[in-house]
Structure 1
Amino acid sequence: MALSRLLLLCMVASEVWDAETRPIDFVCDGESRRAMNAVADLETALRDCDGLTTLSLPVQLPCIKVHKASWENKSHQEKRGDIVASLGLLIEGVKVARALSQPGCVSSLLQRLEHSISNYLHILTHLELSQGPVESPVLSCVPQSTQSLTTVLWTYSRLISGKLEWLVVNLADKCTPQ
């Protein structure tokens, strides 16, 4: 079982490496994005943690709801700034929770989550956007917090399958047909 997880991790890492080398490939290749999304694997790993789903410290959650009209009125830079701020808030909370957790299943899962968030941050910060001035990352709402690792994973999943995918759809015109 451990060997199969290691093999899966290597496969995902190779996909992430390809996506990280050219951030526009992340936008243009839906298969790479799906391979990079580690939430299902993290949820499976969480089930293997024998019910240890409560963190010792609350983690602030990013805003995942999108008001479609106001989202569409934002520039690509503003959308990216919103997502980067959301991922940044989440990764900071995960780092603190991981530092305070005992070694073991939850700590390992938090480390994997931190790595996954870090990959998305790397891609987004290196993604070239030509529209508008550079925007500082800004959260779109007041963050909530939770001690539930299940809720943290669900929120992360909604962030990357919601706001991030909406941004990717908006950037699809940058892709060249092959």
Structure 2
Amino acid sequence: MHAGAATHTSRMEARHSPPLCAHVGPLLLLLLLTGPGCSHLPGVQGKPSDFWCDHQHRTDMQNMTERLARRTAGCTDLDSLPAPIQLPCVSIQAAAWANKSVQQKSAEVMGALQVFHEGLQGPKNQTSSRACLSTLSKLETRISNYIAIVKLVYKQNGASQVSVDRCSSVNSLNQVLRHFGKLLKVKLEALAFALNDSMCNGDQRTLNGR
């Protein structure tokens, strides 16, 4: 093949080859966590049920966030912040939780996520390390993705005023992130369980791995 023809063929292949992320297929919702690179692709849309009805999807998202959180362990300037960060309550009292509507439960989770999102702003402005700033920015994106996912349920069930109970304050970002992990594993999972019948039609994938 002539060099000119080979170049033309390569250009045609590059023009028509789909991006790598377009092949992900079943893990549509996880595209939310890879940043904006895939979000503009036509036809690639994550459904709420992809997240709420499959425990493994939620676990994968938690693992991605935990890996980023571990990277901040080496950011010494984030382990003793000049100002404390308020933390939302993430534990559940079974009897009280059972008596709440899905609307109230989703509002609680939404409010807690927003507190964590706001809490990252101070450390982002205070760190002098570019590596730490990069990690914090990625964590902020992860939390924003959770907010976007929960907001869909929150609005579908009739948005009520978000109220947040703040339980403590800490001066360490690492403590903040450990607390965030508890939110994902406790209160977010409890919300997923509450949504199982209405959103998943009894799909037992919601309970897998529990």
TM class by smaller structure: 0.7 to 0.9
Partner in structure 1 of residue 160 of structure 2: 135
Moved more, 74-83 or 57-66: 57-66
Distance 1:55 1:156, change over 3 A: same
Count of residues in Structure 1 that have an aligned counterpart in Structure 2: 165
Distance 1:130 1:160, change over 3 A: same
Gaps of 5+ in 2: 1-23, 34-44, 206-210
Residue among 129, 132, 139 paired with 1:106: 132
Which string of whole-angstrom CA distances, capped at 9 and with x for unpartnered residues, describes residues 115-172 of structure 1? Answer: 11111000000127765x4311111x23422111121011100001100000101111
Q: Does 1:67 align with 2:67?
A: no
Moved more, 25-34 or 101-110: 101-110
Work out whether residues 107 and 160 of structure 2, in 8 Å CA contact, stay in contact via their aligned partners in 1.
yes
**Equivalents in 1 of 2:47, 2:170: separation in Å?**
34
Q: Does 1:158 align with 2:182?
A: yes
Partner in structure 2 of residue 7 of structure 1: none
- Following superposition, the deviation at residue 99 of structure 1 comes to 2.1
Work out whether residues 61 and 144 of structure 1, in 8 Å CA contact, stay in contact via their aligned partners in 2.
yes
The two structures have a TM-score, normalised by structure 2, of 0.68
Distance 1:47 1:100, change over 3 A: closer
- Following superposition, the deviation at residue 71 of structure 1 comes to 0.7
Work out whether residues 88 and 115 of structure 2, in 8 Å CA contact, stay in contact via their aligned partners in 1.
yes
Q: Does 1:42 align with 2:56?
A: no
Which string of whole-angstrom CA distances, capped at 9 and with x for unpartnered residues, describes residues 73-126 of structure 1? Answer: 100010010111111111011123212322323322221221111110000001
Residue among 86, 93, 108 paired with 1:82: 108
Partner in structure 2 of residue 146 of structure 1: 170
Partner in structure 1 of residue 30 of structure 2: 16
Moved more, 96-105 or 108-117: 96-105
Gaps of 5+ in 1: 1-10
The list of structure 1 runs, each at least 4 consecutive aligned residues, that deviate by more than 6 angstroms after superposition, is: none
Partner in structure 2 of residue 8 of structure 1: none
Structure of greater Rg: 2
1:88 is matched by which residue type in structure 2? Q
Identity of aligned residues (%): 29
- Following superposition, the deviation at residue 51 of structure 1 comes to 7.8
CA RMSD of aligned residues (A): 2.7
